[in-house]
């Protein structure tokens, strides 16, 4: 997730659960191939130990096969276990470029991009996984046609978010449509793993698996309200975590963010996380408000230290 799953947050989440696979933020192939790729390369940064720990997949996006070929090579050279192609982001400034969810309307381009990514990535690493993340349609549900076509491409995995592009994040994800993709895959005999995505919180994980027969579940926003959502044994609902546990997470996130990025990343983006760690006890909102008015890591650490010193 953009501005969320950088190496700092991935490590923090992995230390509090057992996700099977983690994904990078989506990364523009065009920027990766430009003369100043630094801003895009930052999204593919990993901790050295991360690669051996569990599969890590880099997600890329674009509309130009040549750029996607080169971006996929670059991802493979960096040792990622897989390349995921974003064909689901509905944001207009991106779909206007003929990329991401716009590809649902341009199936022949989508197929060219998949081919380019396969060739690019496998020219470096023949075993690398190739996957697509998409939605169930553009302006209407077209699961059978669109996901059926994607399944024919013999991808290693297909992640299906149960909304159409026009919906953005409105309404609820349609898990019956996700189940249809599983049925299509089963009927076809292809081995593509189907991963369901949309509105998942911890109590729904097991029922969604059972109802739909998907091979995996992708959790997005659910992690914001439950840092331990990937915990198998010994899961504890996040609202039972103590204040001190949440403040420790907050402190760690700020320190790790500073150590990893210093002032090179926009500090404002870190504020997205403050809510995650400041909820569930009296006084949490006051602390959050103080944190939101900070502009540097030292300031938020000072706010936290003074809160700890004076909080009852
Ligand atoms: C802040 C934010 C950033 C996101 N960035 C990405 C991204 O980079 N790539 C992607 O495939 N989806 C991205 N998404 C979409 C999520 O992966 C997911 O498909 C969507 O939020 C629905 O699933 P959820 O209900 O589990 O969050 C993003 C969503 C949010 C809220």
DSSP 100-116: GGGGGG-HHHHHHHHHH
- State the pLDDT at residue 311: 84
137 lines ligand 1 (CB under 6 A): no
Q: 220 CA distance to ligand 1 centroid (A)?
A: 5
Residues 105 and 34 in one domain: yes
- In this predicted structure, what is the pLDDT of residue 221? 98
CA 178, 184, 190: angle at the middle one, nearest 5?
Answer: 115
As to burial, measured by CB atoms within 10 angstroms (0-12 exposed, 13-18 middle, 19+ buried), residue 136 is buried
Residuewise pLDDT in 10s, the chain (312 residues):
999 999 999 999 999 999 999 999 999 999 999 999 999 999 999 999 998 889 999 999 999 999 999 999 999 999 999 999 999 999 999 999 999 999 999 999 999 999 999 999 999 999 999 999 999 999 999 999 999 999 999 999 999 999 999 999 999 999 999 999 999 999 998 999 999 999 999 999 999 999 999 999 999 999 999 999 999 999 999 999 999 999 999 999 999 999 999 999 999 999 999 999 999 999 999 999 999 999 999 999 999 999 999 987
Q: pLDDT at position 312, please?
A: 76
Residue 267 lies in a domain: yes
Q: Do 184 and 301 fall into the same domain?
A: no
Residue 6 near ligand 1, beta carbon < 6 Å: no
Structure tokens at 44: 């593919």
- Residues 149 and 290 both lie in one domain: no
What does each C-alpha distance from 294 to 6, 268, 274, 286 come to in angstroms?
21, 9, 11, 13
Last residue within a domain, chosen from 189, 205, 237: 237
Residue 143 lies in a domain: yes
- Residue 194: closest CA among 155, 225, 228: 155
Question: Is residue 291 located within the same domain as residue 167?
Answer: no
Is 2 a member of any domain?
Answer: no
Q: Cα–Cα distance between 305 and 312 in angstroms, integer?
A: 13
Ligand 1 within 6 A of CB of 125: no
For ligand 1, say whether the CB of 165 is within 6 Å of any of its atoms. no
pLDDT of residue 276: 96
Whether residue 223 is found in the same domain as residue 77? yes
In a domain, 163, yes or no: yes
SS3 content of the chain, % helix, strand, coil (to 5): 50, 15, 35
In a domain, 25, yes or no: yes
Q: Are residues 268 and 304 in the same domain?
A: yes
What are residue 217's DSSP bridge partners? 196
CA distance 57 to 22: 6
Q: Three-state SS across 241-258?
A: CCHHHHHHHHHHHHHHHH
- How many CB atoms sit inside 10 A of residue 145's CB? 12
What CATH number is associated with residue 116? 3.20.20.70
Closest residue CA from atom 12 of ligand 1: 1
Neighbours of 49 (CB within 10 A): 8
CA distance 175 to 211: 9
Residue 192 counted as domain residue: yes
- Chosen domain end from 237, 259, 290: 237
Whole-number pLDDT of residue 124: 98
Q: What's the confidence (pLDDT) of residue 146?
A: 98
Choice from 59, 219, 220 to test ligand 1 binding pocket (greatest atom count within 8 A of CB): 220
Query: In this structure, are 180 and 75 located in the same domain?
Result: yes
Regarding whether 192 and 141 lie in a shared domain, the answer is: yes
- Annotated catalytic sites, by residue? 89
Domain span at 11:
7-237
Domain count, the chain: 2
| Same domain membership, residue 174 and residue 124 | yes
Question: Looking at residue 238, what is its pLDDT?
Answer: 95
pLDDT value of position 70 = 98
Same domain, 66 and 167: yes
Question: Edge-to-edge, what's the strand order for the sheet holding 216-218?
Answer: 22-28, 56-61, 82-87, 129-135, 157-161, 193-197, 216-218
Q: How far is the CA of 188 from the centre of ligand 1 (A)?
A: 29
Alpha carbon distance 48, 50 (integer Å)? 6
């Amino acid at each position: 997730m953009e501005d969320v799953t950088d190496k700092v947050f991935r490590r923090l989440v992995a230390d509090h659960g057992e996700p099977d696979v983690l994904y990078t933020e989506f990364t523009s192939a065009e920027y990766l191939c430009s003369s100043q790729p630094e801003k895009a390369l930052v999204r593919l940064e990993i901790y050295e130990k991360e690669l051996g720990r569990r599969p890590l997949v880099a997600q890329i996006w674009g509309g130009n096969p040549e750029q996607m070929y080169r971006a996929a090579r670059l991802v493979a050279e960096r040792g990622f276990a897989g390349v995921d192609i974003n064909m689901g982001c509905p944001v207009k400034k991106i779909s206007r470029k003929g990329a991401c969810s716009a590809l649902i309307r341009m199936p022949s381009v989508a197929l060219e991009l998949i081919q380019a990514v396969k060739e690019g990535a496998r020219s470096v690493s023949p075993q690398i996984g190739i996957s697509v993340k998409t939605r169930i349609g553009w302006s209407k549900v077209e699961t059978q046609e669109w996901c059926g076509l994607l399944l024919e491409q013999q991808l290693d995995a297909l992640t299906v978010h149960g909304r159409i592009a026009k919906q953005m994040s409105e309404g609820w994800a349609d898990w019956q449509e996700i189940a249809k993709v599983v049925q299509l895959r089963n009927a076809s005999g292809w081995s593509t793993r189907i991963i369901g995505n949309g509105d998942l919180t911890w109590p729904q994980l097991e029922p969604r698996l059972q109802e739909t027969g998907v091979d995996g579940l992708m959790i997005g926003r659910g992690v914001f309200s439950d840092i331990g959502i990937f915990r198998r044994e010994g899961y504890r609902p996040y609202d039972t975590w103590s204040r001190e546990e949440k403040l420790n997470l907050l402190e760690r996130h700020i320190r790790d963010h500073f150590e990893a990025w210093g002032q090179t990343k926009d500090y404002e983006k870190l504020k997205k996380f403050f809510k995650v760690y400041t909820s569930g006890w009296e006084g949490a909102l006051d602390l959050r408000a103080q944190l939101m008015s900070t502009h540097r890591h030292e300031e938020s650490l000072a706010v936290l230290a003074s809160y700890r010193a004076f909080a009852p």
